[in-house]
Chains A and B, each alone.
Chain A
Amino acid sequence: GENVEQHPSTLSVQEGDSAVIKCTYSDSASNYFPWYKQELGKRPQLIIDIRSNVGEKKDQRIAVTLNKTAKHFSLHITETQPEDSAVYFCAVLHSGTYKYIFGTGTRLKVLA
């Protein structure tokens, strides 16, 4: 079955620096790759997503890149701010089954 690995598990950066989180997946039939941000005590919220026919997508300080050949995708946050501190989850949607597989999460801490 599909397997999703997410790294690193924790990440501390200085305010203003960039943060990068990477996920790898195993099933080449996967075609949709969302990223979620979860603040303490809150529900996961979608922050950006990418589909398999696109290599990169950007939304202000957040970007996602996808390498279908290598089966990995990454979240990039530039000019980090303290409010970016949260747990970030990647996910993979398997084409045809509509089942999401989530990564194990990355706890990002932005130090002021």
Chain B
Amino acid sequence: GAGVSQSPSNKVTEKGKDVELRCDPISGHTALYWYRQRLGQGLEFLIYFQGNSAPDKSGLPSDRFSAERTGESVSTLTIQRTQQEDSAVYLCASSSQWLARETQYFGPGTRLLVL
């Protein structure tokens, strides 16, 4: 079936503008994750959802970052008043929460460049 998809694939914005990133998980996957990956760096956890609720928001860098998920499907990550340090690839991943199906699948990412 279809994998995890993200849009846009690339986003260039000016400092101070808001951006919205979208993630479509694999159908039926109840867990959804957002990560940030700066150039040449590892995966920085931002937030994850179990269904529509977010048990752990501890990775959100500041109150400029927020995320929501509706209908146990699509999720959006919003960054307000973007800063140059927000430039990175934002990766979304999803997984089932059934035993032996915990494998996490990643989307292609959104490359964000803040000028």
Indicate if the CB atoms of A98 and B31 lie closer than 8 Å: yes
Bound: A64/B20 CA distance, A: 38
Residues 7-36 of A, flagged 1 when their CB comes within 8 A of B and 0 if not, give 000000000000000000000000010101
8 Å CB interface, B53-83 against A: 55-56
> Which chain B residue lies CB-closest to A105?
B42
Indicate if the CB atoms of A46 and B33 lie closer than 8 Å: no
Bound: A20/B43 CA distance, A: 21
Interface size on B, residues (CB 8 A): 23
Q: How many A-B residue pairs have CB under 8 A?
A: 46
Chain A residues in 8 Å Cβ range of B56: 97, 99
The yes or no answer to B112 lying at the interface (CB within 8 A) is no
Indicate if the CB atoms of A97 and B55 lie closer than 8 Å: yes
Indicate if the CB atoms of B42 and A102 lie closer than 8 Å: yes
Indicate if the CB atoms of A45 and B106 lie closer than 8 Å: yes
Indicate if the CB atoms of A98 and B97 lie closer than 8 Å: yes
Pick from B91, B106, B108 the residue with the most CB of A within 10 Å.
Answer: B106
Indicate if the CB atoms of B107 and A89 lie closer than 8 Å: no
Chain A residues in 8 Å Cβ range of B33: 100
The yes or no answer to B103 lying at the interface (CB within 8 A) is yes
Residue numbers of A with Cβ under 8 A of B are 32, 34, 36, 43-46, 49, 51, 89, 91, 93, 97-105
List of 5 A-B pairs having minimum Cβ-Cβ separation, nearest first:
A43-B106, A102-B43, A104-B42, A105-B42, A98-B31
